[in-house]
Amino acid sequence: MSHRKLVAGKGLALMLLLAVIIVPAARAVDCDELLAAAGQEPGLLEQSQMLGEAVKTCPKHAELTYKYGYSLERLRKYGEALDYYKRATKINAKVAKYYFGMADIYVIQKDTSAAIAAYEEGLRLEPQNSRARLALDELAPGKAAAEAASAKQAEAAAANKAAEAEKQKAEQAEKVATKAKEKEKEEAKITGPTLKVKAPNPAEFTGLTAVLEKDRAQQGKDDLAAAPGGAAFKTELTAKQEALRASAQADAVTIDSEKLKVGTPDK
């Protein structure tokens, strides 16, 4: 008997769920009813599950979307909650609490700039909200620090980018230089080494000619002395040369003497 009651209870619950989610064709889904039904659920987890199913049925319902995001925030699923808060603002951008929900998540995530922007947008729509005003005032001192930190990060990023560009430029120049050296080596293998010829010095050339003439004359004498009978002939030739030299000197003396005999007549 108890088993029959359990089955009957489960069947009744299923019928109620089907009555809310699956409606006859003659009647459209009432998203407000789904929202109200989820609000009657006391359990946080069960309520979040109901809201999740309702959002699938009514994806364009801003309040359902926001409520589902809020239930996710209470379950500390902050990333998912922020996503549904953003969806709510896209469906209806004129509800302040949607932006306040976003701002609360940004505060938890320590994204000060985004939190301030979201609070300011919500206060623009609902300027009398004291909680959001207080939260914004508490974030104001951190805004300057956040902007300074952001500027510092941007400066560091620019410096890193410039350094990387210089590094790439140096690497490119090194590659070009390496290719040039390799090309030079390849050309040297094909054409061979280049000989550098020094232009002759005229003075050195004249001196060299004199040395060659002297060597040639000496070689002639040496060849004559080395020939058969050459030594005797060289001796005889040398004697004749000495005799001729002596005769020439004697003639010169005789001529000088004759000149001495010729003088001017006495007056």
Q: What is the pLDDT of residues 215-248, one digit of tens each?
A: 666 766 666 556 566 566 667 767 777 777 777 6
Same domain, 217 and 145: no
Domain carrying residue 89: 15-153
Residue 264 falls in which region: left (phi positive, over 0), alpha (psi -120 to 50) or beta: beta
pTM above 0.75, yes or no: no
The per-residue pLDDT for range 94-111, each reduced to its tens digit, is 999 999 999 999 999 999
- CB contact burial 213-232 (16+ within 10 A = b; e otherwise): eeeeeeeeeeeeeeeeeeee
Q: Give the C-alpha separation, 17 to 54, whole Å.
A: 11
State phi, psi for 92 to the nearest 5 degrees: -145, 105
Same domain, 52 and 139: yes
Residue 229 falls in which region: left (phi positive, over 0), alpha (psi -120 to 50) or beta: left
In a domain, 176, yes or no: no
Q: Pick the residue with more confidence: 237 or 262?
A: 237
In degrees to the nearest 10, what's the CA dihedral of 69, 72, 76, 82? -30
54 token code pair? 């309702």
pLDDT at 1 over 70: no
* The pLDDT of residue 202: 60
Q: Give the C-alpha separation, 247 to 2, whole Å.
A: 173
pLDDT band at 19 (very low <50, low <70, confident <90, very high): low
pLDDT at 262 over 50: no
In a domain, 52, yes or no: yes
Domain count for the chain: 2
Instruction: Average the pLDDT over 169-186 and give the result.
Output: 87
Same domain, 142 and 19: yes
In a domain, 133, yes or no: yes
Report how far apart, in Å, the C-alpha atoms of 212 and of each of 48, 136, 204, 262 are.
118, 108, 12, 49
Boundary of a domain, candidates 119, 153, 187: 153
Q: Which of these ranges, 44-53, 148-157, 170-179, has the smallest mean pLDDT?
A: 148-157
Q: Pick the residue with more confidence: 246 or 120?
A: 120
Q: Which DSSP string do the residues of 122-176 spell out, in sequence order?
A: HHHH-TT-HHHHHHHHHHHHHHHHHHHHHHHHHHHHHHHHHHHHHHHHHHHHHHH
* The pLDDT of residue 193: 59
